[in-house]
Amino acid sequence: MRKVVILGTGPAGLTAAIYLARANMEPLIIEGNQPGGQLTMTTEVENFPGFVEGVMGPELMDNMRKQAERFGAKFKRGWVNSVDLSSEKPPYKLQVEGLGEIETEALIISTGASAKLLNIPGEKENIGRGVSTCATCDGFFFRGKKVIIIGGGDSAMEEANFLTKFASEVRIVNRRNELRASKIMQDRAKENEKITWSLNKTPIEVLADESKVTGLKVKDNETGEEEIIETDGIFIAIGHSPNTAFLNKQVNTDQTGYITVNPGSTQTNIPGVFACGDVQDSKYRQAITAAGTGCMAALDAERYLEGNAVHDWSKTL
């Protein structure tokens, strides 16, 4: 039996681990196939407080993990196949590939959200080399350069407007001839002189040289004609998918799958089950906000455990 198990090792999960380990709660952290979360796919992070010259994403995550380990947090690699929360009271059971069944008094879900990708040639291998899924994170690096935003929803319009603060030109590429974004968001983008449009065009390949992105190959959906749009950066804004499928709808979510929590806390609808980071945040999705909710989840879990009967936690992995 574990006191508390944390699922995920992004900024939220690692911050929760640091706080709980310092409180002698001996957290067990289960890390999946991408330890460190989305920041391990980035290069330099310049907007995380405390790093004057910036810090590499993988380095930041590695340091947070070492900090948690310093206070006694335990890490295990495994894929959580299912979680049994049907009793709505602890202990809760997790089936983890490679580790078997784990029982825990409290559970913190920080499994994040995965950016939806186009799955076209040149895309994944150029993430961090000109391909990005976060304008707020990476827009600064494209000051005075030409960039492309792929998408037609509110997020794409918002990111396009944001990027005009840095880029000399922002081109919106959308495979439909019309946009899904709300009228007010469309109007803002259309009124921005730095934004140009390539509608009804399907991206088919990201082009790059040895060091960076150079262009995007698109196909005109009406004529079938292909063309290359020269660019210094490509921002993919077609949405995110919260990583919650393994919960099998046992925890309340919104219509798009993000876990809902009680206002002002990280408590889900299941007692002793908490959610933090991007898995419950469809709005901000920043490392610093994820870390903040990780702190909240740790404090919520600690208070929950202190207010409930103590079980035998001597049996550990």
Q: Which residues are catalytic?
A: 134, 137-138
Q: Are 85 and 92 in contact (CB under 8 A)?
A: yes
Q: What is the largest CA-CA distance in the chain?
A: 69
Task: Write out the H or E segment, with its range, that includes residue 57.
Answer: helix 57-70
Helix, coil or strand: residue 248: coil
Helix, coil or strand: residue 220: strand
Q: Are 243 and 113 in contact (CB under 8 A)?
A: yes
Q: What is the separation of C-alpha 130 from the centre of its chain, rounded to a whole number of angstroms?
A: 19
Pairing of strands 213-220, 226-230: antiparallel
Give, in degrees to the nearest 5, the angle at Cα 37 between 115 and 162.
45
Find all residues with CB under 8 Å of 185, minimum gap 6, and list them: 154, 157, 158
**Of 51, 50, 16, 48, whose CA–CA distance to 30 is shortest?**
16
Phi-psi label, residue 244: left if phi above 0, alpha if psi -120 to 50, beta otherwise: alpha
